[in-house]
C-alpha cells in the first residue's frame, strides 16, 4: 500500500449505518444480533457449528464429533457423510426452486444462457457419468482449465458428485504453470475448452493443454475433455481428446451423489506463498460446504428473489466459494460473466446489472479503481436501482474508492461488505454483516461469528496498534494441509508465531491493526507476496522464471505501489557475462515471465544492475529494493550491507 493510502486509512473517521429498511429484512438484523451470535459461537464453538451444520446442510449420515483438533490439523464433522453437489443441486429439486434460475451466464460476444436447478442438475449428472466412464474413481484428481462458461461450474460439481477432487487452474496461467500444477496433483483427466474469450481475443486454452501434456509432460493424464466454445480449429489427439458435447449426448442423467466422508478431499487450489513453488491448498467436504454456505447467506444476505453476481474467475478461491459452491448451496441465482470491461465495451458491467436486475454485486478494489478512471458517465447512464448490496475482496480498499463505490454505484443506499479472507481460509473471515454492522471506509470491520481473530506480535501478544493478523481457533472452512507437504503447512501457517499457552495461532501473512471499536484494518502482506490487481504472486516464483532465462544471472523482485493495480512488479536483474541490458532484453524478459507463469505476472518494470544489495551473509536486502522501486529514500538500517557502493549505483541507474 502507498504511504498516501495508509495515511488516508489511518485518518478515516466516517461511519455508515445499515439503512433501517435493509436491516428489517436482513438475515442478521442488528448489531445486538451479531454480538449475540458472536458471543454464543465464542463460548461454545462446537455447539454453534454443530447446530448450523444440522440446520443448513443435508447429511447422508450425521457426524459423531463436531471437531477433532490436533493442532495444526483439524477434522470437522468427523464420521459425517454428505455431498456438496447434493447440497448445491438435488435438495433444491424437491422444492419450488427446481425451476428457478441457478446460473445465468453472460458470454462474449453476446452469448447468453440460463440454467435452472433442474437443468444444471441434469448436466452435472451427465458429466459425472462421463467421468466415471472414462475410469475416474473416487479420489482421482481432475484438472479443470476453463474459460468462464457454465461448463466450468458443471465440471466442478460433477467431480464433487463422484468424489474426484478437482484442481481448477486459472485460464490465464501459461502451459508451464498448468503443467506444474497437473504434475503436483497427478491429474488423470483434464477438462478444458477449445478457447475462451478475453477482452475481444481468443485465449487458446486447448493449445496450452497440448503444450503442457506434450512429450509425456504430465504422466498420468489419460483423457482430455474439450468444450467447444470459440469454434476455431484445434488439434484433437486420437484416443486422448474427446468433445464434451459428444460425451454428454450419450451419457445418462441418472447419477446419485456419492456419500462422501466429511473430511474427504473436495479440491486442491494452488496459491502463491513467499517461498518455493505455489502451494496446493487442500479443502475438504463438510466443513467447506458449511462455511461457504453460511458466509454467503449472512454476508451477502441472500434472499430468494435475488440475482447475485460475483465478478471473480472460477480459477480463484473467490470463484469457487462465491460463484459456485456458496450461492448454489443456498439455492440462489448466481451470475457468471465471461468478459471484462475493455475499450470496446467499457460499460459492460453496468449493462449486465441493468439487464438482469442484479441485486448483489461483489467485485475487487482494482476493478473499482478502473471503473473510477473510466468515468461516472458510464454507470450513470444505466439504471442500477436493482442493486441493494455491494461487496469487495482481494486487497485493501482505499477510502476514496470505497466512497465512489458507495455513491456512484450504490446510490448511497447499498451497504458495502469489505470482505477479508484468503484461499487458505476457504471463506470470508472478517467482514461487515450488512444489516447489522456499521461500516467505515477501508475497514473490513469485525470477525464473522465463530472466528476469533486478533492482531499480534511475533510472540502472540495482542498489539492493536499494528502487527500480524492471526486467527486463534479453528473454523470449518480452514485449509486442512498443503497437498503432499504437511510439514510445509505447519511451518508456513502455524510456526511463525509459536503456540502460546497451548493455543495455536494461524498466521495469515497480512499486517493489520485494530481500532478502539474492535474494527480490523488490513494493511497488506507482510511477506514476499505481491498483490497485483488482487492476484497473489510470490516474488520467488517470478525470480525463478527470470533466472530460467539464459541471459539472467540473478533476479530480485519487489512490489511497488500502483494507483490502479494496488501493486506492480519491479524486477532487479543482473546479467550473465558481459551482456548489456537493452530495451529489447527488457521486453524479452517480460515475455519470458508471461510464458513461464502467465500474463498476470508480467513485470511492470525491469531494472538492470551490476549487483544486488546483499547482507554479508548473502541475503538480498529487499527492503532497500522496495524503497528504490517506489522512488523513496532508502530508510532504516543499512549497516549490514556488504557493498555500500551497490546502493549508490542502483540509485544512479534509476
Ligand atoms: C488480500 C482472496 C485487505 C490479503 C480471497 C490476503 C485483502 C490475500 C482483502 C488473499 C480485504 C483479500 N482487505 N486485503 N478485504 N481480501 N486480501 O488467497 O493480503 O487470493 O492475504 O484470496 O488478499 O488472497 P487470495
Per-residue pLDDT reduced to its tens digit, 30-74: 999 999 999 999 999 999 999 999 999 999 999 999 999 999 999
Banded model confidence at residue 76, pLDDT cuts 50, 70, 90: very high
**Packing angle between helix 205-213 and helix 175-185, nearest 10 degrees?**
60
Distance in Å, CA 525 to ligand 1 centroid: 9
Ligand 1 close to Cβ of residue 323 (< 6 A): no
Residue nearest to atom 7 of ligand 1 (CA): 395
Sign of CA dihedral 309, 270, 89, 50: negative
pLDDT at 244: 98
d(CA 452, CA 475): 9
Ligand 1 close to Cβ of residue 317 (< 6 A): yes
Long-range interactions of 626-633: CB distance < 8 A, separation 24+? 626/558, 626/559, 626/560, 628/654, 629/558, 629/559, 629/560, 629/570, 629/605, 630/2, 630/560, 630/561
Ligand 1 close to Cβ of residue 393 (< 6 A): yes
Distance in Å, CA 89 to ligand 1 centroid: 29
Given the CA of residue 509, which atom of ligand 1 is nearest to it?
A: 21
Ligand 1 close to Cβ of residue 474 (< 6 A): no
Distances (CA, A) of 425 to 261, 474, 475, 506: 20, 10, 8, 10
Which whole number is the average pLDDT over 84-111?
96
Tell me the percentage of the chain whose pLDDT exceeds 90.
Answer: 87
Ligand 1 close to Cβ of residue 331 (< 6 A): no
Ligand 1 close to Cβ of residue 421 (< 6 A): yes
pLDDT at 651: 81
- Distance from CA of residue 618 to its chain's centroid? 34
Residue nearest to atom 1 of ligand 1 (CA): 395
Question: In 216-363, which ranges are E strands?
Answer: 223-227, 241-243, 260-261, 265-271, 279-284, 307-310, 333-337, 360-363
Strand (E) or helix (H) holding 491: helix 486-494
Strand (E) or helix (H) holding 20: helix 20-25
Q: Is the pLDDT confidence value at 447 over 90?
A: yes
d(CA 646, CA 641): 9
Given the CA of residue 419, which atom of ligand 1 is nearest to it?
A: 15
Terminal CA-CA length for the chain? 21
Distance in Å, CA 393 to ligand 1 centroid: 6
Distance in Å, CA 321 to ligand 1 centroid: 14
pLDDT digits (tens, 9 = 90+) for 453-480: 999 999 999 998 999 999 999 999 999 9
pLDDT at 641: 80
Ligand 1 close to Cβ of residue 418 (< 6 A): yes
pLDDT digits (tens, 9 = 90+) for 133-155: 999 999 999 999 999 999 999 99
d(CA 641, CA 520): 36
d(CA 600, CA 591): 12
Distance in Å, CA 507 to ligand 1 centroid: 13
Q: What is the largest CA-CA distance in the chain?
A: 74
Banded model confidence at residue 598, pLDDT cuts 50, 70, 90: very high
Q: Which residues pair with 69 in a beta bridge?
A: 74
334 close to 327: Cβ distance less than 8 angstroms: yes
pLDDT digits (tens, 9 = 90+) for 245-275: 999 999 999 999 999 999 999 999 999 987 7
Q: Which has the higher per-residue pLDDT, 641 or 300? A: 300
pLDDT digits (tens, 9 = 90+) for 365-408: 999 999 999 999 999 999 999 999 999 999 999 999 999 999 99
Q: Strand pairing of 112-116 and 101-106? A: antiparallel
pLDDT at 654: 59
Q: Is the pLDDT confidence value at 518 over 80?
A: yes
Q: Is the pLDDT confidence value at 2 over 80?
A: no
Distance in Å, CA 410 to ligand 1 centroid: 23
Q: Which has the higher per-residue pLDDT, 13 or 301? A: 301
Which whole number is the average pLDDT over 518-546?
94
Ligand 1 close to Cβ of residue 419 (< 6 A): yes
Q: Strand pairing of 506-514 and 520-525? A: antiparallel
pLDDT at 198: 87
349 close to 377: Cβ distance less than 8 angstroms: no
Ligand 1 close to Cβ of residue 160 (< 6 A): no
Ligand 1 close to Cβ of residue 431 (< 6 A): no
Given the CA of residue 535, which atom of ligand 1 is nearest to it?
A: 20
Q: Ligand 1, residues 12, 395, 445, 446: which to mutate, most atoms within 8 A of Cβ? A: 395
pLDDT at 5: 75
pLDDT at 110: 87
Q: What is the DSSP letter of 277?
A: S
Banded model confidence at residue 336, pLDDT cuts 50, 70, 90: very high
Compute the mean pLDDT over every residue in the chain, rounded to the nearest whole number. Answer: 95
d(CA 547, CA 555): 6
Which whole number is the average pLDDT over 476-487?
98
CA-based nearest residue to 150, from 235, 57, 244: 244
d(CA 411, CA 226): 43
Residue 10 backbone phi and psi in degrees, to 5: -65, -25
Given the CA of residue 423, which atom of ligand 1 is nearest to it?
A: 18
- Asked if omega into 313 is within 30° of 0 (cis), the reply is no
Ligand 1 close to Cβ of residue 507 (< 6 A): no
Ligand 1 close to Cβ of residue 520 (< 6 A): no
Banded model confidence at residue 88, pLDDT cuts 50, 70, 90: very high
pLDDT at 619: 86
**Packing angle between helix 175-185 and helix 583-596, nearest 10 degrees?**
30
Question: pTM of the entire structure?
Answer: 0.96
pLDDT at 277: 85
Compute the C-alpha angle 40/41/47, nearest 5°: 95
Given the CA of residue 444, which atom of ligand 1 is nearest to it?
A: 15
Given the CA of residue 318, which atom of ligand 1 is nearest to it?
A: 5
CA-based nearest residue to 134, from 216, 208, 225: 225
Residue nearest to atom 10 of ligand 1 (CA): 422
Quote the cell numbers at residue 37: 451470535
Residue nearest to atom 23 of ligand 1 (CA): 394
Ligand 1 close to Cβ of residue 423 (< 6 A): yes
Banded model confidence at residue 100, pLDDT cuts 50, 70, 90: very high
Residue nearest to atom 14 of ligand 1 (CA): 395
Q: Is the pLDDT confidence value at 206 over 70?
A: yes
Banded model confidence at residue 216, pLDDT cuts 50, 70, 90: confident
Residue nearest to atom 25 of ligand 1 (CA): 422
pLDDT digits (tens, 9 = 90+) for 395-442: 999 999 999 999 999 999 999 999 999 999 999 999 999 999 999 999
Ligand 1 close to Cβ of residue 509 (< 6 A): yes
- Order of all β-strands in the sheet with 416-419: 112-116, 101-106, 333-337, 307-310, 360-363, 389-393, 416-419
Distance in Å, CA 255 to ligand 1 centroid: 37
Ligand 1 close to Cβ of residue 531 (< 6 A): yes
Distance in Å, CA 363 to ligand 1 centroid: 12
Q: Which has the higher per-residue pLDDT, 498 or 163? A: 163
Task: List the alpha helices (DSSP H) in 58-188.
Answer: 84-85, 91-93, 117-133, 150-162, 175-185
Distance in Å, CA 150 to ligand 1 centroid: 26
Q: Is the pLDDT confidence value at 346 over 70?
A: yes
374 close to 342: Cβ distance less than 8 angstroms: no
Quote the cell numbers at residue 88: 448445491
pLDDT at 579: 85
Distance in Å, CA 595 to ligand 1 centroid: 26
Amino acid at each position: 500500500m502507498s504511504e498516501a493510502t495508509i495515511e488516508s486509512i489511518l485518518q478515516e473517521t466516517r461511519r455508515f449505518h445499515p439503512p433501517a429498511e435493509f436491516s428489517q429484512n436482513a438475515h442478521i438484523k442488528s448489531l445486538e444480533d451479531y454480538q449475540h451470535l458472536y458471543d454464543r459461537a465464542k463460548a461454545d464453538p462446537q455447539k454453534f457449528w454443530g447446530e448450523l451444520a444440522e440446520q443448513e446442510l443435508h447429511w447422508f449420515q450425521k457426524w459423531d464429533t463436531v471437531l477433532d483438533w490436533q493442532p495444526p490439523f483439524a477434522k470437522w464433522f468427523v464420521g459425517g457423510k454428505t455431498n456438496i453437489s447434493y447440497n448445491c443441486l438435488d435438495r433444491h429439486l424437491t422444492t419450488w426452486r427446481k425451476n428457478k434460475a441457478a446460473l445465468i451466464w453472460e458470454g462474449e460476444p453476446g452469448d447468453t444462457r440460463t440454467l435452472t436447478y433442474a437443468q444444471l442438475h441434469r448436466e452435472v449428472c451427465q458429466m459425472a457419468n462421463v467421468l466415471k466412464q472414462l475410469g475416474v474413481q473416487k479420489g482421482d484428481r481432475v484438472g479443470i482449465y476453463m474459460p468462464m462458461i457454465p461448463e466450468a461450474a458443471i465440471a466442478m460439481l460433477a467431480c464433487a458428485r463422484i468424489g474426484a477432487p478437482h484442481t481448477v487452474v486459472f485460464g490465464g496461467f501459461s502451459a508451464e504453470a498448468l503443467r506444474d500444477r497437473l504434475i503436483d496433483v497427478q491429474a488423470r483427466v483434464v477438462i478444458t475448452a477449445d478457447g475462451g474469450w478475453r477482452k475481444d481475443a481468443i485465449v487458446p486454452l486447448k493449445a496450452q493443454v497440448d503444450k503442457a501434456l506434450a512429450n509425456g509432460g504430465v504422466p498420468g493424464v489419460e483423457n482430455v475433455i474439450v468444450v467447444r466454445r470459440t469454434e476455431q480449429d484445434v488439434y484433437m489427439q486420437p484416443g486422448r481428446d474427446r468433445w464434451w458435447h459428444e460425451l454428454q449426448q450419450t451419457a445418462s442423467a441418472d447419477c446419485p451423489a456419492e456419500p462422501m466422508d466429511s473430511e474427504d478431499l473436495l479440491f486442491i487450489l494452488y496459491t502463491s506463498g513467499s517461498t518455493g513453488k505455489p502451494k496446493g491448498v487442500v479443502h475438504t467436504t463438510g466443513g467447506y460446504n458449511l462455511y461457504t454456505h453460511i458466509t454467503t447467506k449472512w454476508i451477502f444476505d441472500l434472499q430468494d428473489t435475488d440475482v447475485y453476481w460475483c465478478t471473480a474467475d472460477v480459477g480463484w478461491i473467490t470463484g469457487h466459494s462465491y460463484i459456485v459452491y456458496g450461492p448454489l448451496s443456498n439455492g440462489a441465482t448466481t451470475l457468471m460473466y465471461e468478459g471484462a470491461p475493455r475499450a470496446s465495451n467499457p460499460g459492460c458491467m453496468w449493462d449486465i446489472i441493468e439487464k438482469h436486475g442484479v441485486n448483489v454485486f461483489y467485485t475487487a478494489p482494482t476493478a473499482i479503481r478502473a471503473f473510477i478512471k473510466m468515468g461516472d458517465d458510464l454507470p450513470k447512464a444505466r439504471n442500477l436501482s436493482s442493486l441493494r448490496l455491494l461487496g469487495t475482496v482481494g486487497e485493501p480498499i482505499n477510502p476514496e474508492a470505497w466512497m465512489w463505490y458507495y455513491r456512484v454505484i450504490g446510490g448511497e443506499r447499498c451497504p458495502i461488505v469489505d470482505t477479508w479472507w484468503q484461499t487458505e481460509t476457504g471463506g470470508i473471515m472478517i467482514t461487515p454483516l450488512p444489516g447489522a454492522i456499521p461500516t467505515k471506509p477501508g475497514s473490513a470491520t469485525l470477525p464473522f461469528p465463530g472466528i476469533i481473530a486478533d492482531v499480534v506480535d511475533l510472540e502472540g501478544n495482542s498489539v492493536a496498534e499494528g502487527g500480524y493478523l492471526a486467527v486463534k481457533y479453528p473454523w470449518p472452512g480452514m485449509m486442512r494441509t498443503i497437498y503432499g507437504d504437511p510439514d510445509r503447512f505447519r511451518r508456513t501457517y502455524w510456526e511463525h508465531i509459536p503456540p502460546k499457552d497451548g493455543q495455536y495461532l494461524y498466521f495469515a501473512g497480512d499486517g493489520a491493526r485494530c481500532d478502539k471499536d474492535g474494527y480490523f484494518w488490513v494493511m497488506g502482506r507482510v511477506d514476499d507476496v505481491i498483490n497485483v490487481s488482487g492476484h497473489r504472486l510470490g516474488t520467488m516464483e517470478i525470480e525463478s522464471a527470470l533466472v530460467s532465462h539464459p541471459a539472467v544471472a540473478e533476479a530480485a523482485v519487489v512490489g511497488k505501489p500502483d494507483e490502479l493495480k494496488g501493486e506492480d512488479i519491479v524486477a532487479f536483474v543482473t546479467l550473465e557475462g558481459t551482456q548489456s541490458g537493452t530495451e529489447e532484453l527488457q521486453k524479452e524478459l517480460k515475455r519470458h515471465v508471461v510464458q513461464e507463469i502467465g500474463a498476470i505476472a508480467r513485470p511492470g518494470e525491469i531494472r538492470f544492475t551490476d549487483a544486488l544489495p546483499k547482507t554479508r551473509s548473502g541475503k538480498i536486502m529487499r527492503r532497500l529494493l522496495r524503497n528504490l522501486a517506489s522512488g523513496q529514500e532508502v530508510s532504516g538500517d543499512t549497516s549490514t550491507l556488504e557493498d555500500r557502493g551497490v546502493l549508490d549505483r542502483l540509485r544512479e541507474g534509476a
